[in-house]
A and B are shown apart, each in its own frame.
Chain A
Amino acid sequence: MRIAVCVKHAVDETELKTDSAGNPQLKGAATKISTFDKNAVEEALRLKASHSGEVVIVTVGTPEAKKSMKEALAMGADRGVLVNADPMSMETRRTSELLAAAIRKGAPYDLVLCAEGSSDNYSCLVPPMLGEQLGLPYVGYARKIEVSGQSARVERALEDSVEVIEAPLPAVVSVVSEINEPRYPTLIQIMQAGKKPMEEVSPEAILPGLTAAPSFVRGMKAQAMARKRVVFEGPPDETAKKLLDALASEGVLPR
C-alpha cells in the first residue's frame, strides 16, 4: 500500500507574537511541523504496519521545511518530496495544485492523507481542493480509517454525530487529532532520518507552464476579539442559573 502524506512546515502558533496593532509577526517567527499533520503521518504508519508498503511525505515549503519533513521521516516515513515554494505567500488553491502535481508525479498512491487543517492558518481548504485537483473521492475529518482491499471505511467525526463512509481507493482523507496518538521518534531515529531520501523539486518542474496564481496572500491580520468580562455575583445556586441563562442567550447552550 502506497500512502502519500501532506505535511506543512507551519508557524509555531504557541510562540507567535503580535505587534502593537495586534497583527501576527510572521517574519522570523518560530516554525514547526503542523501539529495535526503528525496524526496523519501516524495513521499512515499504522496502515503501513498492517498492509505493508511505503509512506511518502509531500511538502510545499522553503528549504527550511526539511526540518518538518525530517521529523516525519524520523517517525518512520520512508522518503520525502519537497516542492520548493513559500506557502505563506500563496493561497490554498496554489498550494493544493502543487501538492497534487507532486502526488501525480509520484503516482500511483492508494491513499492520500492530510490533517483536517494546519495548526497555523487552519483554513481546512487544502484537503478537499486536493481531492478535486486529483479527481479522487475526498472524505474529511476522519477519526478512524480501515482499509480492506480496494476500499476504505472511514468514520467521520461530525459536530453531533458520527458518519461512516465507504470510499473506493485511491482517495484523499483528512484526519482529526482524535484518530491516534502520534509516536515520538527516538533520538536515534531522529539522527537517522537525515539519511533517508529527500527529493527537492521546483514548482515549474512538476507543473510546466505554471503562471502567476490568480490570487495570493497580501497580508494577515489578527481579528480582535474583546471579552465581555461579565461577572455574576451572589450565592452559587443563583449565579449558576444566571450563567446558564447567559450561555443560552449567547447560543452556546440550547434554550
Chain B
Amino acid sequence: MAIYSAEHRRLMEMFYPAHHHEYSEVLTSLGGFMEKEILPISPKLDTGEAKIAGPRKALLEHGMCQIPFSEKYGGLGLPFSVYANAVEMLGTADASICLSVEIHNAVAEGLSRFGSEYQRKKYLPKLLSGNSLASFTLTEPASGSDAGTMATTAEKKGSEYSISGSKMFITNAGEADLYLVFAKTRKGPSCFMVEAPNPGLSFGGDLRKLGMKGSRTSEVVFSDCRVPEGNLVGEEGKGADYAKEILHGARIIVAALNVGIAQIAYEKSVAYARQRKAFGRSIAEFQLIREKIADMKTEIDAGRLLYFYASRIKESGADYSSEASQAKVFATEMSLRVCDSAIQIHGGYGYTTDELHRHWRDARLLTIGEGTSEVLRMLIARRELARSQ
C-alpha cells in the first residue's frame, strides 16, 4: 500500500496548483519512510514487543516535524495542510507514534507563536531536528478543557518561578526533555518551559490504557519545581488564551490522525472482504458488506476534506476554531464507526485479533483527548451562533 495515496496527491494538486510537485515529493519520501520504518513495527508497539523511542527519533530526524515551521529555526516553511497530510499518513502507519509526535509539535507550535525570540532560537532547532522531545502539560486530575480552574501554581521567588501541582494523562511524560507547563500565577493561568531533569519534576507510572499503547502516558508532578523567570512563555496571565490557540491547531491534527487510523482499518477490511469466502463466494460480493465499504470510504473522504478545509482557513489567518472543532468531532467519531465496521467485516477474527481491533482501541482515545466531543460541540455552536448575529 502507498501511504501517500492518489487521493492525497489530488488534494495537493487542487489546493496548491503552483507548488504541488514540491509538496508531493516531500510527502512521497515521508510515506516511503513510514512504509519501511514505521508500519511494520506498528503491531509490536501495541503489544509492547517494540519500543517507541527508536522509530520516533528516526521519524523526527527524517524531518516530520520540520514541515510547518520557519526555515529560520530549522523548519521547511511548508503550509500547515502539508503537515496535516503528513500526520494523516503517520496515523495510518502507527497511531501511537503519531500521538506522541503530534503532542511534541503542539509544543513547538506554542513556542513558535508565543515564545520570545530567545526561546525560539534556544528550543525550536532542537525540537524540529529530533534532538529534543517535548510534552504538553495542561490537563489536571480535576480539570481538563476548563483550564481556568487549574490547581497547579507558579509562584515568583526572586528571579525564579516555583511550580507546584500535578498534571494528568500527559503524553510523552518521563520521556520528554522539555515540558510546556500551564500553571496559575497571581495574574492567572500562565505558560512555562520546564527542562528535564529538574529536582522538582517527577513522574507517575505508565498508565494502562485501552489503546495508543505504544506511547507513554502518566502523571507529571511538580514539587517546588524551580525555573528561571526567562522560562515564562509570553505574558503572565495569558496562558489560557495560549492553550486555546495551540489546541485549535492541534484539533485539526487530531482529525488528520483519525482519518489515518480509519484509512488503515478500511484498507484491511477491503482486502479481507475480497479474500474471505462465504456461501461459495467472496463476502465483498454481498450487498450488506458493500454498503459498509461504501459508507466507510465516503466518511473517510469527508473527514479528510474537513481537516483540509480547516487547515486552509488556518493558513489564511482567519478564525478557524469552529472548523477545527468540526473536523475533530467528525473525524474522531467517524474513525470509531469505520473501525467498528472493520471489526464487523472481519467477524470473529476482528474481535479476537490485536492487529485489527487495535485500530478501534487507538481511535477511542480521541473523542476524549484534546477537547471532548461534548465540549467541542458547545464551542462550535457558540461560535456559529455568534457568527450569525
State the A residues within 8 Å of B (CB).
14-15, 67, 70-71, 74, 184-188, 190-191, 194
The distance in angstroms between the C-alpha atoms of A70 and B26, with both chains bound, is: 11
Any chain A CB within 8 A of the CB of B29? Answer: yes
Interface residues of B in 269-302 (CB under 8 A from A): none
Q: Pick the contact of A186 from B21, B32, B61 — CB < 8 Å?
A: B61
Question: 9 additional contacts, CB 8 Å, given A67-B21, A187-B29?
Answer: A15-B2, A184-B29, A184-B33, A187-B26, A187-B66, A187-B76, A188-B76, A190-B26, A191-B76
- List, sorted by A's number, 24 A–B pairs whose CB atoms are closer than 8 Å: A14-B2, A15-B2, A71-B25, A74-B29, A184-B29, A184-B32, A184-B62, A185-B29, A186-B61, A186-B62, A187-B26, A187-B29, A187-B30, A187-B62, A187-B63, A187-B64, A187-B66, A187-B67, A188-B63, A188-B66, A188-B76, A191-B22, A191-B76, A194-B22
Q: Give the shortest distance, in Å, between A53 (CB) and chain B (any CB).
A: 26
Chain B contacts of A14 at CB under 8 A?
2
Q: Interface digits, B134-173 against A, CB 8 Å rule (1 contact, 0 not)?
A: 0000000000000000000000000000000000000000
A191 near B26 with CB under 8 A, answer yes
The distance in angstroms between the C-alpha atoms of A67 and B76, with both chains bound, is: 19
Q: What 8 A-B pairs are tightest by C-beta distance, nearest first?
A: A187-B63, A186-B63, A184-B33, A190-B29, A187-B26, A186-B62, A190-B26, A188-B63
Query: Chain B: how many interface residues by the 8 Å CB criterion?
Result: 16
The distance in angstroms between the C-alpha atoms of A17 and B148, with both chains bound, is: 58
Q: Give the shortest distance, in Å, between A176 (CB) and chain B (any CB).
A: 19
> Which chain B residue lies CB-closest to A184?
B33
The distance in angstroms between the C-alpha atoms of A70 and B66, with both chains bound, is: 20
Q: Give the shortest distance, in Å, between A234 (CB) and chain B (any CB).
A: 23
The distance in angstroms between the C-alpha atoms of A67 and B24, with both chains bound, is: 11
Interface residues of B in 42-99 (CB under 8 A from A): 61-64, 66-67, 76
Q: Give the shortest distance, in Å, between B317 (CB) and chain A (any CB).
A: 24
> Which chain A residue lies CB-closest to B36?
A184
> Which chain A residue lies CB-closest to B33?
A184
The distance in angstroms between the C-alpha atoms of A14 and B64, with both chains bound, is: 25
Q: Pick the contact of A190 from B2, B25, B61, B64 — CB < 8 Å?
A: B25
Chain B contacts of A191 at CB under 8 A?
22, 26, 76
The distance in angstroms between the C-alpha atoms of A131 and B177, with both chains bound, is: 55
> Which chain B residue lies CB-closest to A15?
B2
| Residue among A14, A70, A185, A194 facing the most chain B CB atoms (10 A cut-off) | A185
